[in-house]
Amino acid sequence: MAATGSEKQGAKAYYVSTPIYYVNDAPHLGHAYTTVAGDVLTRWHRQRGEKVWYLTGTDEHGQKIMRTAEANGVTPQEWCDKLVEEAWKPLWEHLNIANDDFIRTTEKRHTDRVQEFVQDLYDKGEIYKGGYEGPYCVGCEEYKLPGDLIEAEDGTKLCPIHKKPVEILKEENYFFKLSEYGPKLLDFYAANPDFIQPESARNEVVNFVKQGLQDLSISRSTFDWGVPVPWDEKHVIYVWIDALLNYATAVGYGSNQAKFDETFPANVHLVGKDILRFHAIIWPAMLMAQGLPVPGKVAANGWLMVGGEKMSKSNLTGIKPQDLTSHFGVDAYRWYFLRAIAFGQDGSFSWEDFTARYTSELANDYGNLASRVAAMVGKYFEGALPSATAAGEAEQAVQDGLAKAVAEADRKIGEELDFQNGILSVFEFVKQVNGYITEQEPWKVAKDDSPEGRARLATILYTAAESLRAVAVLLNPVMPETSQKLWDSLGAEAGLGALADQKVQEAGEWGKLPAGATVTKGAVLFPRLEEPKKA
């Protein structure tokens, strides 16, 4: 995506990352949920005129990948290459994700820097050799504390996330002195209360650290699919240490200092709540040990649930995003999950709920409003947008409603990552405009052919069209294709320029859409749904 003219060379980028996703299988709705959230957030900041960097990618080392590849009769690298190129990258393109980079942990630009980072910590005395024995979940690629496990009916100890038996591993490893960073982390959390969101996630992390941290095993010696430990190639670097470093290696750590200084650290790390401790404890501790700045915020989203279970391939509840986009469309898909589920909380996907919201809010409220206004400008003014010369209290109420919607959406989406209420504020304004048209009854006003009647009709339709201009700007980060169609229908580009150049924080400035703009009734923004089918 092209940079806007207001971006300054050398200014710190607004840097957002998703987790890098484990490529043991194709992506499902849960992966797409986080990635779409990051895309909306970064598109929003781009449309503020800010310099932005959006990173996503794939995590390709570790025992789980190795076993999955073996089960499929290919090498781990072949498995990763196939999944990334045939499933992950095409899906992000399909969902209109405007990421600036896609990092793979098998890339040399990453693996070389990982070895350098770990070598530096070793040279500083932050890493030592030791032994460890304990329960290990291959699915999480993590040693578990005994108190974290759940028990099956037969007494077998299970991972609480994957509901599968853990393995008892005993190996000689290298350890990072994580235990020494507990007090530093607690001081940091206290000084930066918004570092971990939501608050429930913050409380969980703080309580965990207060109980005392154990040193972290940062190598594995029982398998070889990973980045070799530079001073001891009998070991590979623990996949999570390898993975977390992507946020630094992808933006120039150790290779492009100017880019690194302009980008790092991330303003927001978006993560799933099951990997919160890695990002809110281990990652900042690693950065502190290396003397690097800590991220601005770690925001943990909840789980998407199906039948009361976390959506995942291992639980056989993974639903392909394409199952939904083929029925509802890509823009509606992007809108639905952020509108229906409060970011940071668990939420259940429902085909019926998606259908109901699509019909009510998208088709009936938003799409119908756009169609009605375009049709009336065409019918009563031959498609040329009239000027507003008879504005009164009703029009002022619409202007006030828009100013409120802009302020709320900008704060909720751009700052608080409250996508649900940010989107809701825009749709409340859409409802207000629909109500305004119902009350003003332009079809009746049109019967008055006097100059006063024509002026009143012109004012009503200009007010409605100008409202839609602002809605197109506000919803562009969420539904870019639909917003562009509306922008084109309003003839806005001729007078205002490209939609992407319109600043969201200025969308409430009234009177931007020039009189005389050619308004056309294009294709229906949200077509009637076909007969529902099951995902």
Catalytic residue positions?
Answer: 28, 31, 137, 140, 159, 162, 310, 313
363-369 CB contacts, 8 Å cutoff, 24+ apart: 363/526, 363/527, 363/528, 365/427, 365/430, 365/431, 365/434, 366/427, 366/430, 366/471, 366/525, 366/526, 367/524, 367/525, 367/526, 368/434, 369/430, 369/433, 369/434, 369/437, 369/464, 369/468
Question: Which positions ≥6 away from 54 have C-beta within 8 Å?
Answer: 15, 16, 17, 38, 39, 42, 98, 99, 100, 101
**Pairing, β 196-197 against β 216-217:** unpaired
Q: Which two tokens stand for residue 350?
A: 């429902």
How far apart CA 269 and CA 55 sit, in angstroms, is 10
Q: For residue 173, give the DSSP letter.
A: E
Q: Which two tokens stand for residue 393?
A: 């209290």
Residue corresponding to tokens 């409603």:
401
Q: Which two tokens stand for residue 135?
A: 């329960």
- Peptide bond connecting 532 to the previous residue in cis, omega within 30 degrees of 0: no
> Three-state SS across 259-280?
HHHHHCCCCEEEEEHHHHHHHH
Question: Which positions ≥6 away from 356 have C-beta within 8 Å?
Answer: none
Q: Which two tokens stand for residue 303?
A: 């789980």
Amino acid identity, residue 507?
Answer: A
Question: Which positions ≥6 away from 459 have C-beta within 8 Å?
Answer: 386, 388, 389, 390, 391, 395
Phi-psi region of 372 (alpha: psi -120 to 50; beta: other; left: phi over 0): alpha
